[in-house]
Amino acid sequence: MSDSDIKKGLRTFILTNYLFTDDESALGDDDSFLDNGVLDSMGVLELIDYLTEDLNVEVDGDEVTPDNLDSINKVVQFVTDKTKS
C-alpha cells in the first residue's frame, strides 16, 4: 500500500469516525489530534485498533505517544516506518 493510499484511508477514518463529517477541510494533515480535540483516551484505542486490523501494524504500548500518533502525517510516517522495519 502506498503512502498516499494509507493517508487517504486514514483521513477518511479520522473524518468519519471522530469528526463525523466528509468535509476534507475539517482537518489538515499536520493538525494536532490533541490540540483539536479529535482524540481522547478512548479514541486512541480505536485508532490503534484501526492500525492493527486495517493496516496490519502492531502498536506497542511505549509507541502510544503524540510523537507517533498526533496528526495524519505523523501516523502515516509511523505506519511507513513500522512497515519498513
Partner 1 sequence: MCGFAGILSQRDKQTNRINQSTLQSMARVIEHRGPDEQGIYIKDNIGLAHRRLSIIDLSTGQQPMLSTDKNISLVFNGEIFNFIELREELVKQGHQFVTHSDTEVIIHMYQRHGEGFVQYLNGQFSIALWDSAQQKLLLIRDRTGICPLFYSFDNDCLLFASEIKALKPALLNGLSMSASSLDQVFTFWAPVSPNTIFENIFEISPGHMMITEPSGSRHVQYWDWSYDAELSTRSEAELTEELTELLIDATRIRLRSDVPVAAYLSGGLDSSTIVALIHKHGGIPLRTFSLNFKDKNLDERDFQDLLTKRFDTDHTRLVVKPEDISDALVDTINHTESPILRSAPIPMGLLSGQVRNEGYKVVLTGEGADEVLGGYDIFKEAKVRQFWAKNVNSAWRPLLLNRLYPYLNLPAGGESAYLKRFFGQALEQPDSLFFSHIPRWTTTAKAKLFFSDEMNAALTAKATDTLTDMLPSKVSNYHPFNRSQYIESKTLMSGYLLSSQGDRMLTKNSIEGRFPFLDHRLIEFANKVPPKYKMRAMNEKYLLKKAMQNYLPDKITHRSKQPYRAPDVNTGANNLTGQQFNEYFSAASIKSLGFFAPKKVELLLKKANSKKPLSTSESQALMGILSTQIIHKNFCNN
Q: Which of residues 8-37 bind partner 1 (CB under 8 A)?
A: 16-17, 19-22, 34, 37
Nine-digit cell at 38?
Answer: 479529535
Complex with partner 1: residue 21 or 56, whichever CB lies closer: 21
Asked if residues 41 and 79 have their Cβ atoms less than 8 Å apart, the reply is no
Cα distance between residue 55 and residue 51, in whole Å: 5
Instruction: Work out the widest C-alpha separation in the chain, in whole angstroms.
Output: 34
Closest CB to partner 1 among residues 29, 35: 35
Q: Which of these ranges, 5-13, 42-50, 51-59, 75-83, lies near partner 1 under the rule CB under 8 A?
A: 42-50
